[in-house]
Amino acid sequence: MIIVFLGPPGSGKGTQADILHDNHGFFHFDTGSRLRAEIASGSELGQRIASFTNAGKLVPIEIIKEMILKFLREADAERIMFDGFPRNLAQAEVLDEGLKEYGDDLDYAVYLEIDEDNLLARIVNRRFCSKCGEIYNLISKPPKQAGICDNDGAELTQRKDDTEEVFGTRLKVYLEETKPVLDYYRQAGKLHTIDGDYDIEDVSRAVAELLGV
């Protein structure tokens, strides 16, 4: 089964994707984390990527395309979920063509619909574990001890682009470039909308029910 998660920044895609991985064995392809790992490596490519991510803009299609096609070439998982991809129509076409080449097809596009007024609060309160990557929210999912990961005691950090200033650009990019992808999948009969405003557990139950896992 191959699925994509769609939704604005802060809609809970990453959290839900982690749950699908832990509970249902989905391979979690997280574009943003892969890009951040490339930046952390200090490579020249990473520096180029950072100039886009730090500004909240989309990384150019040729970089994303290479990453996706390489993954599809090497992937051997039965259940795959893409989180943070596709982010515009050109990327949706890259995915369709890439999957077709390997005789596959997308099963579900899961759209986490959320009240856009709440997004900024979700974003600026988001923290993640520098070691295991667990995502927290200072309001809705705080760690037991401030600044410390419940799983491994490592320090929690904030993403460089989770600021009010960069968020404005990220939301604009989402509205202008990513929202049209919803129509693309709606027309293909693959779009399924889940209300993302509920508790994490309720949303994950609705996702699992939809996928029949």
Positions that interact with ligand AMP (CB under 6 A): 9, 31-32, 35, 52-53, 56-59, 64, 84-85, 87, 91, 161, 170
Per the annotation, the verdict on 79 as an active-site residue is no
CB of 148 to ligand AMP, least distance (A): 23
Task: Determine whether 13 is an active site residue.
Answer: yes
Per-position b or e across 104-124, b if 16+ CB within 10 A of its CB? eebebbbbbebeeeebeebbb
Catalytic residue chosen out of the listed positions 159, 186, 190, 205: 159
- Distance linking the first and last C-alpha atoms of the chain: 10
Show Cβ contacts of residue 105 under 8 Å, excluding neighbours closer than 6 positions: 2, 99
Active site residue 159: yes
Question: Is 170 one of the annotated active-site residues of the chain?
Answer: yes
- The residue (of 15 and 53) whose beta carbon lies closer to ligand AMP is 53
In the bound state with ligand AMP, the residue whose beta carbon lies nearer, of 68 and 203, is 68
Position with the least CB separation from ligand AMP = 32
Distance CA 168, CA 173 (A): 9
Q: Which residues are catalytic?
A: 13, 87, 126, 159, 170
